[in-house]
Amino acid sequence: LNLMGRVALVTGSGSGIGRDTVFKLAEEGCRIVVSDINADSARDTAADLREAGHEAIAVACDVTREEEVEHLVAQAGQWGGVDILVNNAGIVKDGYLTKMSEQAWDSVVDIILKGAFLCSRAVLPQMMEKKWGRVINISSRSLFGNPGQTNYSAGKAGLVGFTRALAQEQGRFGVTVNAVAPGFIMTPGMRNLPHFPQLQEAATAKVPVGFLGEPRDISNAVAFLASDVARYISGTTLFVTGGRYSG
């Protein structure tokens, strides 16, 4: 894929899909800015990357806070700015809408949408100047609508609209903007759930290919979209769901 020398920033990369994505992008030649609201996990991930022979720094950042995002992106200045931004940070706070608190709504939607807005706004001026850039937004199959996830489904569907609009704005600057929509991915967090065996069985039954995804299935898609091989792809949402869509 030849991402040699590119600088990649992945939000929420202290764990799960984000953590695997920074390893994949590093293996493809990127220098990595690891970022997470959890400072310890960001630091550990960057240390693990360096131990594996890659170049990486860690910056703690809550993507919903403008000043923290500006500080985060400024740290990439030492490498000439961010070439590849992956808006990966996301949380769930499930519950039926009639019982959903304002906080559960705001926090989930803000991390997904405001986070993508603030991070994209912070990195784009340098990408536009270099006439090359990649913004990759991690959406979800849940954009079709999951009961108990009105907040999350709205945020992830909104992220697709954001992706399409920003792709139209940025194309002439050599910046592509795409989304990846994962299905059920077996992250360490998922595996540690007490009801994981039942969850795994129920979820597997709904996946046409007959197995659940691994973080590497998502990071492979991200790396592809980040590469020059994907130069003519912009504004799209790549579903990495084993063939499962709505339902």
Give the residues lining the site for ligand NAD (CB under 6 A). Answer: 11-12, 14-18, 36-38, 41, 61-64, 88-91, 111, 138, 140, 182, 184-185, 187, 189-190
Q: Looking at 96, 152, 232, 245, which residue is catalytic? A: 152
Helix, strand, or coil here: 81? coil
* Active-site annotation holds for 152: yes
C-alpha–C-alpha distance, residues 124 and 171, integer Å: 12
- If one counts every other C-beta atom within 10 angstroms of the C-beta of residue 183, the result is 22
DSSP 229: G
Minimum distance, C-beta of residue 87 to ligand NAD, in the bound complex (Å): 8
Minimum distance, C-beta of residue 96 to ligand NAD, in the bound complex (Å): 19
38 or 128, CB closer to ligand NAD?
38
C-alpha–C-alpha distance, residues 158 and 154, integer Å: 6
Minimum distance, C-beta of residue 145 to ligand NAD, in the bound complex (Å): 14
With CA atoms as reference, report the closest residue to 72 among 135, 18, 120: 120
84 or 89, CB closer to ligand NAD?
89
1 or 39, CB closer to ligand NAD?
39
Minimum distance, C-beta of residue 2 to ligand NAD, in the bound complex (Å): 25
159 or 230, CB closer to ligand NAD?
159
C-alpha–C-alpha distance, residues 154 and 205, integer Å: 25
Show contacts of 158-161: CB within 8 Å, 24+ apart.
Answer: 158/109, 158/112, 158/113, 159/87, 159/112, 159/113, 159/116, 160/237
The separation between the first and the last C-alpha atoms of the chain, rounded to the nearest angstrom, is 34
Catalytically active residues are 152
